[in-house]
Amino acid sequence: MTAAPAASVLFVCIHNAGRSQMAAGFLRHLAGDRVEVRSAGSVPGDRINPSAVAAMAELGIDIADQKPKVLTTEAVRASDYVITMGCGDACPYFPGKKYLDWTLEDPAGQGVEAVRPIRDEIRSLIENLITEIDAAAAAGRES
């Protein structure tokens, strides 16, 4: 029997083609089944940013098969953490969710060299998020 995920995380950016896809890829890679991962965009693009795909591939994380998805109220409602990355006021608010806003440069239209520092910043944020989720899950088990 598989344990339920410790948390559900939704990453939201405008096009769901770069930042949110890299964040989702890192979280899936680093947390595995411990965390349920979603991503969406307020105005989804046609495809994933090829520079984001290439930058993640350099670290052995394949996001090439991902597709931009539209942000839905249901996705927000089903998530414990809602992490926005420049989607403005498009994200619906539900009490009881943890909202984080990560200020990250938009990789749209940039080459891999410019995307690498954004990717690395996202990885650091994801590592901190996993630590927070694991601590919250441990505290919940102790109470």
Question: Is the C-alpha dihedral spanning 75, 77, 80, 84 positive or negative?
Answer: positive
Among residues 87, 104, 122, 125, the one annotated as catalytic is 87
The catalytic position among 6, 9, 13, 115 is 13
**Residue 76 in contact with residue 82, Cβ under 8 Å?**
yes
Which member of 91, 115, 125, 129 is catalytic?
91
13 is catalytic: yes
- Cβ atoms of 52 and 119 within 8 Å: the answer is yes
Q: Which residues are catalytic?
A: 13, 87, 91
